[in-house]
Chains A and B, each alone.
Chain A
């Protein structure tokens, strides 16, 4: 019988939607919504009743140790302020380990990003001087990128005295100091190898201002890239310093007899007294916080 009933397609059950006239009241509550709401309401009622019963059945003579330090303020009971409970040293040590691990992860992520940025930001001193036409228009001064010493071997002191950088490199005198790309004189007129099509179209149309605008946009983007790099380098240094500080705290909370070799105050005084000593005391602490130094007693372990 039932199989016969199943064979005939039945009209699917549809719950009523909110009538058009009552649309301002929002969605119409369905039975499943009502069940949830009712269950929640009843649970709250039960809880309130339980508290009420507890208060009614209270023994006024009862004593709890918590009452010793409990205070009221204008008749209102004061809860203990958050965090006033001391954390056990062992738990604290575990928390510090978590902090240190988190900082290590962040530091590693940061250094990876720095490496990626550095790989493609070669410090062409000028934060970008791409003149639309090619390499020769605006020439930049010194190379802030590479800073190594360049030695050129010449034949004898006479040649050394007569040495002229621009002549030796076969470039324009103003380019002799531009390390990363001293274009040869014969290549100075060379056009850029590739310029975006829309910029070339602007240049062909003679719209000098639009080209200039585009060039300054490139410069702006490059400056932003360099700024990001700088920011990340600073952040990484701070993260590393914090990780080191927390690790020291964690070690100090651990076992073993230890002796303070140099405190923060002493190191700061030493740094102030001699400029040379500052480097040693401040290693790894770019924020200028001098390092404290401890020594653990060697302990035989079985």
Chain B
């Protein structure tokens, strides 16, 4: 991509994420598969110590995780080397960026139920060896328990009324103690009649019942309407008295 000669790449608070400033001002991740875009996103090539490196622009309008990062969450817990269980992977657009972040050392288990987006997900995973696509219903984690080890983080974007239960089921099987979950909540999908704030509060309450300790919550304006991302810790250690 042109323009790489006029771009500064800055470090971001979260390892694996960067900021590009040139003609654009954009959140970026290092492309694991240089030369290829996953969903037509912009790519930026720069030279670092005589080696060409390619980055991909991470669009907050398409990824709730990117929107949360730009919103300023304290920690997304997804970092280089992390093992991530990604529920509701869809076509794998966000998954590809998560895969970029965790890098070769990490793994992303991407679960998606629908076959059609699942096909795109599998095609994306063919190029990214750290992504393991699983076309299964996240409600039945036992069906794919053979494929997954313990994970550090669960990211969930399933947009189902029983999302908290789905996350709980998966966490009980795969999430290590003191691991984290990052959940994107679409208020409309949980309860379209209640106020969004009330829906978010109710979901946080449900997470608490599933042994999660909520850490932070952020709403995703202006990228999404009535969406929130909640970050919580699983079976957090008791505070020393």
Contact = CB atoms under 8 A, between A and B. Distances in A.
Contacts of B228: 148
Interface of B: 5-13, 18-19, 21-27, 41-42, 46-48, 53, 57, 59-62, 67, 69-74, 204, 213-223, 228, 239
A72 interface: no
A179 B26 contact: no
Nearest to B69: A180
Nearest to A119: B59
B74 A152 contact: yes
What are the 4 A-B residue pairs with the smallest beta carbon separation, nearest first? A179-B72, A148-B219, A120-B24, A194-B9
A151 interface: yes
Contacts of B24: 120-122, 222, 225
A156 B46 CA distance: 48
Contacts of A143: 70, 72
B13 A196 contact: no
A57 B71 CA distance: 87
B221 A194 contact: no
Nearest to B28: A120
Nearest to B71: A146
Interface string A177-215: 011111110010010111111010000000000000000
A179 B18 CA distance: 14
B9 A192 contact: yes
Interface in A250-286: none
Interface of A: 115, 118-124, 127-128, 130, 132, 134-135, 143, 145-153, 155, 168-169, 171, 178-184, 187, 190, 192-197, 199, 218, 221-222, 224-225
B46 A150 contact: no
Given A119-B57, A119-B61, A153-B217, A187 B25 contact: no
A152 B74 CA distance: 9
B8 A182 contact: no
A124 to B, nearest CB: 4
B21 A179 contact: no
Contact of B10 (A123, A135, A178): A135
B74 A218 contact: no
A124 B25 contact: yes
A168 B23 contact: no
B89 to A, nearest CB: 20
A135 to B, nearest CB: 5
Nearest to A225: B23
A149 B21 contact: no
Nearest to B23: A221
Given A179-B72, A222-B25, A122 B219 contact: no
Given A119-B62, A192-B10, A222-B21, 15 more contacts: A119-B42, A122-B25, A127-B25, A134-B10, A134-B11, A146-B221, A150-B73, A150-B218, A153-B215, A168-B74, A179-B72, A181-B19, A183-B11, A183-B13, A192-B9
B13 A181 contact: yes
B22 A190 contact: no
Contacts of B7: 194, 196
B221 A147 contact: yes
Contacts of B74: 152, 168-169
Contacts of B26: 119-122
Contacts of B59: 118-120
Nearest to A175: B13
Nearest to B229: A148
A302 B204 CA distance: 55
Nearest to A182: B13
Contacts of A123: 25
Nearest to B41: A119
A141 to B, nearest CB: 14
B72 A150 contact: yes
Given A120-B24, A221-B22, A152 B72 contact: no
A190 B6 CA distance: 20
Contacts of A130: 8, 10, 21
Given A143-B72, A169-B74, A218-B22, A187 B13 contact: yes
B20 to A, nearest CB: 8
Q: Which of B11, B27, B221 has the most CB of A within 10 A?
A: B11
Contacts of A199: 8
Q: Which of B7, B21, B47, B67 has the most CB of A within 10 A?
A: B21
A190 B13 CA distance: 11
A227 to B, nearest CB: 12
